[in-house]
C-alpha cells in the first residue's frame, strides 16, 4: 500500500498498463511534453514515445473518432478530453458511433476503448470548466460510465476500463485530483465496473453519492454520528451506468430512508434515476420521504466564489437534510 | 490545386489483364442489376427502403478494384453497393440486408439497408450521420502504421460529407501523420436536393486536399479505368508511406436519393437523361468491345447469367428467417447474447 492522491493513482495505473501492453496508446490535447493539463500523463512521452502518446489537433469529435478507428484495428486507445465541458463536439461520435458499434453490427464488432474526462466543479472553473456531463451519456445504451471518488477506486476502475471489451467513459472529478488522498495497493489490482461500494456502514439512513459529493457526504455522516449518535450508510455509486441497483436497494431496505446527492443540475440528473429506482423497487421499505439534493437548474456555477459556493451542495447543507431525514 | 487524371489510360499500362477487365465489368453489372431488382422489390412492397447506386458503379468499382481484399480496410458509405461487392459481399448478402433478415451480415436486420459492415471482410460498419467514418479511417490508418502493416484504409463519401466538421478533422489528422489512407469523394453534385453550388464555393472538392498537405485528384467517375488509375497511384503512395490522397470522382446518381425521395422536385428529367449518356456501364462496355476484350454477345450472355444468379440469390434471401424479437436486447455488450 502507498498513499497517493487521485492524480498519482491514475497516472501510475495508466503508466503500468501501458508498460505492460504496447497496444495501449493515449491521445488528446497537451498530453505529450505538457503531460496533460492535470499531469495525468506526466513523463509518458519520454518513456513511451510520440507514437503512443499522441498530441492531437484541437478537435474533440476527431479525438473520439480516431480512438474508435484505432480500437477497430487492434489498438487499445485511451483518449483524453481536456475538460468535460469540451466533450460536446464529440457527442455524435460517442452516441451514434462508439456506443452503438457492437449493437448495430449484431456483435460482429466490439470497441475496447476508454475516454478519460476530467469533470466537476469547486475549482473556480465557472460555466465552462466545471460541468457535470454524466447524465447525457448514462442515458446511452452501449456505453459504460464510471465515476470513481477515491485514489484506489480510480486506479482499479481505470484498469478495468482499459481491459473491458466495451467502451468506457471514465470521469475524473477535478476537485478530488489533489484534494483526496488514500491508500492504494501496489499490485495491479482491479475494481469491477458496475459495482457500487459501501464507503461507510450505518443503519439509520442511506446516502447515495459519487465524485466530490461522496466526500462531502462522508464528512456530513461523521458529523451526524458525533452530534446525534445516528449512523448514515454512505454508498459510493462508482459506476453510473450500468447502475448497481442491488447494493443501493439492499441498503435502503435495511435503513428505510434514502437520499441522493449529486452536483449536476438537479432535473433529469443521475440522482433522479437512482431515486426512481428506489421508488419503483423499494417503496414499501421506506419510512420517510426520498430526498434528492442536486445543483440548481442553472448553467453550471458562476466564477465568483459566492456564486460557486451557492451552486455546489456543501457539507453543511447535506448535513441539515441528513438530520431532517434521520429524524423523520 | 487538384490534378486531373485523363481518360487516355489503357488497361495494359495499368497492369490489368482481360480477366481483370471482365471481373470489373461483372461487378458494375451486378451492382446495376441488384439496384434494379431492389427498386422492383420496393414497388412490390417487399423492400421498404432502397438506397440506389446506379450511375456510381464505375467510380466505385474503379477505386475499389485497386485495393487488396482480405488485408486492406474498406470504409464505405450507404451508396457503395458496388464497393462492397468488390470487397466480398455477395448479392445474397445485399438482399439479406434489404429484407432485414437475421443473417444480414452487416447488422442482423438492425440497421437500415445499405449500412454495410463485416469484420471478416474488413468492411467497417457505419451509421446514418454523414462523415462520421472519416476520423475512423484516420484512426485505422494510424493503427495500421503503428503496427507496421502494409494495410491501406480507403474511405468513400459524397460531396455533401465534405461540409461536415468530421471530414475536415479526419483529413487534417491524416495529413499531419502521413497516414496510409485514401479518401474517395463520389461527387454526384446533389446532397439529396442541395446542389454543389449551395454546398461549397469551389468547383473541385479535391482542391481542398492542398489545405491538408496531400495531393487531390479529379477524375471522371464514369471512366472506370481512369478511377482505377487514380486509386492505384494513391494506394501505392499510401503503401509506400507517402501519405494520403483525396480523389474526387465526378459522377451522377440516376435514381432519386432513396426510394423515399422524389428527385423531380429538384432536377429536370432532361438533366438526368443527359447524364445517362455517360453511364459507366455503357462506357466500360464500349471499352471492352473496342479493345476486343469481349463482344456484344458475350456481354449480353454475362448479363443474362448475372440476372438469373441474382434472382436465385434474392429468392434465397427472401426465404431466410427474420430476426427473433427475443434478441432485441442481445449483443449490446460483450457476452450479452450468443
HSE-CB for B240 with a 13 A CA cutoff: 8
Confidence band (pLDDT; 50, 70, 90) for B129?
very high
Beta strands A232-236; A197-200: pairing state: antiparallel
Q: Can you tell me whether residue B28 is helix, strand or coil?
A: helix
Identified catalytic residue from B11, B237, B257, B287 = B257
Asked if B132's CB is within 8 angstroms of A96's CB, the reply is yes
Joined together, the cell numbers standing for residue A106 give 449484431
d(CA A247, CA B2): 62
What pLDDT, on a 0 to 100 scale, did the predictor assign at position B2? 76
Interface probe for B, chosen from A26, A69, A194 (most Cβ of B below 10 Å), is: A69
Strands B216-220, B245-250: pairing kind = parallel
- Give the closest-approach CA distance of B111 to chain A in angstroms: 6
- How far is residue B189's CA from residue A18's CA, in Å, rounded to a whole number? 47
Q: Is B183 a catalytic residue?
A: no
Considering B177, B266, B267, B307, which one is annotated as catalytic?
B266
**pLDDT for position B6:** 67
Report the candidate in A223, A239, A244 with the shortest Cα–Cα distance to residue A323. Answer: A223
Residues A148 and A133: beta-carbon distance below 8 Å: no
Contact B139 A110 (CB under 8 A): no
Task: Kindly report the length of chain A.
Answer: 328
Out of B124, B132, B136, closest to residue A92 by CB: B132
CB contact under 8 A, B125 and A25: no
Contact flag A104-B111 (C-beta cutoff 8 Å):
yes
Q: How far apart are CA B227 and CA B58, in angstroms?
A: 8
Q: Which chain B residues are within 8 Å of A68, Cβ to Cβ?
A: 135-136, 139
Q: How far, in whole angstroms, is CA B299 from its chain's centroid?
A: 23
Question: In the predicted model, is pLDDT for residue B7 greater than 70?
Answer: no
**What is the per-residue burial (b if ≥16 Cβ within 10 Å, else e) of B10-27?**
ebeebebeeeebbebbbb
Q: Does A69 touch chain B (CB under 8 A)?
A: yes
Contact A92 B334 (CB under 8 A): no
Cα end-to-end span (Å), chain A = 41
Low-confidence ranges of chain A (pLDDT < 50): none
Strands A258-265 and A239-241 turn out to be unpaired
CB A38 within 8 A of CB A186: no
The answer to whether the Cβ–Cβ distance between B127 and A100 falls below 8 Å is yes
Number of residues written out for chain B: 338
CB of B134 within 8 Å of a chain A CB? The answer is yes
Of the partner residues A68, A74, A104, the one whose CB lies closest to the CB of residue B147 = A74
CA distance A263 to A295: 5
Alpha-carbon span A193 to A191, nearest angstrom: 7
| A92 in B contact zone (CB under 8 Å) | yes
User: Would the CB atoms of A74 and B107 count as touching at under 8 Å?
Assistant: no
Please provide residue B281's backbone torsions phi and psi, each rounded to the nearest 5 degrees: -65, -45
Question: How distant is the Cα of B221 from the closest Cα of chain A, in angstroms?
Answer: 28
The answer for residues whose C-beta is within 8 angstroms of residue A24's C-beta and 6 or more apart is A17, A18, A52, A75, A76, A77, A78, A162
The per-residue pLDDT for range B133-167, each reduced to its tens digit, is 999 999 999 999 999 999 999 999 999 999 999 99
Q: How far, in Å, CA of B76 to CA of B81, rounded?
A: 9
Q: Is B107 close to A106, i.e. CB distance below 8 A?
A: yes
B326 has a chain A CB within 8 A of its CB: no
Per the DSSP assignment, residues forming a β-bridge with A116 are: A80, A170
Whether residue B8 is predicted with pLDDT greater than 80 in this model: the reply is no
Name the residue among A81, A85, A315 with its Cα closest to residue A209.
A315
Cα end-to-end span (Å), chain B = 52
**Residue in B135, B146, B331 closest to A65 by CB:** B135
| Contact at CB, A61 and B134, closer than 8 angstroms | no
pLDDT of residue B3: 79
pLDDT(B338) > 60: no
pLDDT digits (tens, 9 = 90+) for A196-236: 999 999 999 999 999 999 999 999 999 999 999 999 999 99
User: Shortest Cα distance from A24 to chain B (angstroms)?
Assistant: 11
CB contact under 8 A, A108 and B111: no
A129 carries an active-site annotation = yes
Chain A neighbors of B114, CB-CB under 8 A? none
DSSP lists the bridge partners of residue A200 as A234
Q: Is B269 on the interface with A (CB under 8 A)?
A: no
Give the neighbor-by-neighbor strand order of the sheet with A114-119: A53-55, A24-28, A76-80, A114-119, A168-173, A144-146, A239-241
Place of cell 447506386: B53
Provide the mean pLDDT of chain B: 96
Interface residue B211 vs chain A (CB under 8 A): no
Rg (CA), chain B: 19
Q: Determine contact: A109 vs chain B, CB below 8 A.
A: yes
- Cβ-based contacts of B176 with chain A (< 8 Å): 57
Q: What strands lie across the sheet with B216-220, from one edge to the other? A: B3-5, B216-220, B245-250, B181-187, B153-158, B73-75
Q: Which of A192, A91, A139, A143 is nearest to B332 (CA)?
A: A143
DSSP string for residues in B143-175: HHHHTT----EEEEEEGGGGGSHHHHHHHHHHH
Q: CB of A21 within 8 Å of any CB in chain B?
A: no
Tally A–B CB contacts below 8 A. 139
Alpha helices in chain A (DSSP H): 6-20, 44-48, 60-72, 91-92, 101-104, 134-138, 151-163, 176-179, 212-228, 245-255, 270-282, 305-311, 315-326
Looking at residues B225-242, what average pLDDT do you find?
97
Catalytic residue among B208, B212, B253, B287: B253
- pLDDT, mean over chain A: 97
pLDDT score, position B336 = 79
Q: To 5 degrees, how large is the angle CA B40–CA B46–CA B50?
A: 60
The Cα-based distances of A51 to A32, A119, A312, B146 in angstroms read: 10, 27, 41, 7
Given this model, what pLDDT does residue B272 score? 96
CA distances (Å), B261 to each of A216, B21, B82, B265, in order?
A: 57, 34, 21, 9
Spatial distance between the Cα atoms of B81 and B114, rounded to a whole number of angstroms:
7
Write down the catalytic residue from A129, A173, A215, A309.
A129
Residue A65 main-chain phi, psi, to 5 deg: -65, -40
Which cell numbers hold the place of A310?
451557492
Identify which of B310, B334, B328 has the alpha carbon closest to the alpha carbon of residue B102.
B328
Alpha helix stretches (DSSP H) within chain B = 18-43, 57-64, 81-87, 91-98, 133-146, 165-176, 196-199, 224-239, 269-275, 280-290, 296-318
DSSP one-letter string for A14-58:
HHHHHHH-TTEEEEESS-STT--TTSTTTTHHHHH-TTTEEEPPS
How far, in whole angstroms, is CA B109 from its chain's centroid? 21
Query: Which of B113, B333, B337 is the best mutation test for A, with the most CBs of A within 10 A?
Result: B333
pLDDT classification of B1: cutoffs 50, 70, 90? low
> What percent of chain B clears pLDDT 90, i.e. is strictly above it?
96
Q: How confident is the model at residue B337 (pLDDT cuts 50, 70, 90)?
A: low
- What span, in angstroms and rounded, lies between the C-alpha atoms of B135 and B119? 18
Distance CA A137, CA B30 (A): 43
User: Is the pLDDT assigned to residue B276 strictly greater than 90?
Assistant: yes
Name which of B197, B126, B191 is nearest B160 in CA terms: B191
Instruction: With CB atoms and an 8 Å threshold, state whether B135 touches A68.
Output: yes
Please give the DSSP secondary-structure letter assigned to residue A89.
G
Contact call for residues A116 and A170 (beta carbons, < 8 A): yes
Could you tell me the three cell numbers for A208? 447515495
Amino acid at each position: 500500500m502507498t498513499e497517493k492522491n487521485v492524480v498519482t493513482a491514475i497516472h501510475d495505473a495508466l503508466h503500468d498498463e501501458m508498460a505492460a501492453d504496447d497496444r495501449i496508446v493515449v491521445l488528446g490535447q497537451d498530453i505529450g511534453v505538457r503531460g496533460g493539463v492535470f499531469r495525468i500523463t506526466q513523463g509518458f512521452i519520454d518513456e513511451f514515445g510520440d507514437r503512443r502518446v499522441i498530441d492531437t489537433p484541437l478537435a474533440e469529435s476527431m479525438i473520439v473518432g480516431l480512438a474508435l478507428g484505432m480500437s477497430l484495428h487492434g489498438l487499445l486507445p485511451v483518449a483524453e478530453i481536456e475538460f468535460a465541458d469540451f466533450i460536446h463536439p464529440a457527442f455524435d461520435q460517442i452516441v451514434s458511433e462508439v456506443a452503438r458499434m457492437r449493437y448495430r453490427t449484431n456483435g460482429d464488432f466490439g470497441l475496447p476503448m476508454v475516454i478519460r474526462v476530467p469533470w466537476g466543479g469547486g475549482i473556480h472553473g465557472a460555466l465552462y470548466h466545471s460541468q457535470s456531463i454524466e447524465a447525457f451519456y448514462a442515458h446511452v445504451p452501449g456505453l459504460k460510465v464510471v465515476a470513481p471518488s477515491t485514489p484506489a477506486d480510480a486506479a482499479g476502475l481505470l484498469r478495468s476500463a482499459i481491459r473491458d471489451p466495451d467502451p468506457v467513459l471514465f470521469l475524473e472529478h477535478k476537485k478530488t485530483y489533489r484534494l483526496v488522498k488514500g491508500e492504494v495497493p501496489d499490485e495491479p489490482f482491479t475494481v469491477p465496473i458496475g459495482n457500487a461500494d459501501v464507503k461507510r456502514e450505518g443503519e439509520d439512513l442511506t446516502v447515495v453519492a459519487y465524485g466530490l459529493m461522496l466526500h462531502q457526504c462522508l464528512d456530513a455522516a461523521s458529523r451526524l454520528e458525533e452530534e446525534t449518535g445516528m449512523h448514515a450508510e454512505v454508498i459510493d455509486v462508482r459506476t453510473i451506468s450500468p447502475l448497481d441497483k442491488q447494493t443501493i436497494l439492499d441498503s435502503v431496505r435495511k435503513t428505510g430512508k434514502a437520499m441522493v446527492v449529486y452536483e449536476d443540475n438537479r432535473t433529469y440528473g443521475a440522482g433522479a434515476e437512482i431515486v426512481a429506482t428506489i421508488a419503483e423497487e423499494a417503496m414499501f421499505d421506506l419510512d420517510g420521504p426520498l430526498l434528492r439534493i442536486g445543483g440548481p437548474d442553472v448553467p453550471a456555477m458562476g466564477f465568483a466564489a459566492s456564486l460557486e459556493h451557492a451552486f455546489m451542495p456543501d457539507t453543511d447543507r447535506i448535513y441539515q437534510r441528513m438530520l431532517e431525514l434521520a429524524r423523520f | 490545386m487538384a490534378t486531373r487524371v485523363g481518360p487516355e489510360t489503357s488497361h495494359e499500362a495499368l497492369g490489368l489483364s482481360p480477366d481483370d477487365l471482365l471481373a470489373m465489368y461483372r461487378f458494375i453489372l451486378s451492382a446495376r442489376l441488384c439496384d434494379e431488382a431492389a427498386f422492383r422489390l420496393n414497388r412490390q412492397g417487399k423492400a421498404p427502403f432502397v438506397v440506389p447506386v446506379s450511375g456510381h458503379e464505375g467510380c466505385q468499382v474503379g477505386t475499389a478494384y485497386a485495393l487488396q481484399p482480405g488485408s486492406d480496410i474498406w470504409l464505405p458509405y450507404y451508396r457503395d453497393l458496388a464497393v462492397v461487392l468488390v470487397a466480398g459481399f455477395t448479392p445474397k448478402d445485399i438482399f439479406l440486408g434489404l429484407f432485414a433478415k437475421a443473417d444480414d451480415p452487416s447488422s442482423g436486420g438492425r440497421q437500415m439497408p445499405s449500412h454495410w459492415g463485416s469484420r471478416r471482410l474488413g468492411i467497417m460498419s457505419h451509421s446514418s450521420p454523414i462523415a462520421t467514418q472519416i476520423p475512423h479511417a484516420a484512426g485505422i490508418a494510424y493503427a495500421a502504421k503503428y503496427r507496421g502493416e502494409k494495410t491501406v484504409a480507403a474511405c468513400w463519401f459524397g460531396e455533401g460529407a465534405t461540409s461536415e466538421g468530421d471530414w475536415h478533422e479526419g483529413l487534417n489528422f491524416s495529413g499531419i501523420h502521413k497516414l496510409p489512407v485514401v479518401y474517395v469523394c463520389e461527387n454526384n453534385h446533389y446532397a439529396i436536393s442541395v446542389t454543389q453550388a449551395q454546398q461549397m464555393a469551389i468547383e473541385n472538392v479535391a482542391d481542398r486536399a492542398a489545405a491538408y498537405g496531400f495531393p487531390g485528384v479529379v477524375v471522371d467517375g464514369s471512366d472506370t479505368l481512369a478511377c482505377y488509375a487514380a486509386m492505384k497511384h494513391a494506394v501505392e503512395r499510401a503503401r509506400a508511406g507517402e501519405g494520403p490522397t483525396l480523389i474526387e470522382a465526378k459522377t451522377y446518381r440516376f435514381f432519386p436519393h432513396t426510394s423515399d425521395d422524389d428527385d423531380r422536385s429538384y432536377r429536370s428529367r432532361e438533366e438526368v437523361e443527359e447524364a445517362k449518356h455517360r453511364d459507366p456501364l455503357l462506357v466500360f462496355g464500349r471499352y471492352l468491345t473496342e479493345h476486343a476484350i469481349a463482344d456484344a454477345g458475350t456481354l449480353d450472355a454475362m448479363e443474362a447469367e448475372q440476372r438469373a444468379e441474382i434472382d436465385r440469390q434474392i429468392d434465397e434471401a427472401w426465404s431466410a428467417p427474420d430476426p427473433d424479437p427475443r434478441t432485441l436486447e442481445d449483443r449490446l455488450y460483450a457476452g450479452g447474447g450468443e
